Amino acid sequence: MKFIYIKNYLNISKIKKNQFIEYIYSFDEFKVNNQKIILNDNSLILELSLESNFDIAKSVIDKFFNDDKGIDTVFVDKLIFEENELIILNEEKIINKVAI
């Protein structure tokens, strides 16, 4: 599985969140299979289908949030759920640890 981690996603307005969801579902180059909101981190993790073009997905997401300060996007290879923690990894490097 491949994911795109959007840090501080919950900090944007409700209107912008709705616009974003409509926007990402409008592309044929990638398909969102699942969305995970991480409340303790104010973030969103998008799970993309294996057939998706991840570079295009990240590029259009970055473009959408271009004017929003504090919104960061990162490719994620693996999510590990431990006892009270979610560990977000890219190429075996820890991107973030979030208490759950």
Rg (CA), the chain: 13
The alpha carbon of residue 30 and the mean position of all alpha carbons in its chain are separated, in whole angstroms, by 13
Q: Flag whether pLDDT at 3 surpasses 80.
A: yes
Lookup: tokens for 93 = 């490097």
Could you tell me the domains of the chain?
Answer: 2-99 (3.30.70)
Q: What is the pLDDT of residues 4-51, one digit of tens each?
A: 999 999 999 999 999 999 999 999 999 999 999 998 899 999 999 999
Sign of CA dihedral 7, 10, 13, 14: positive
Q: Flag whether pLDDT at 2 surpasses 90.
A: no
Contact predicate 7/50, CB 8 Å: no
Q: What is the mean pLDDT of residues 68-77?
A: 92
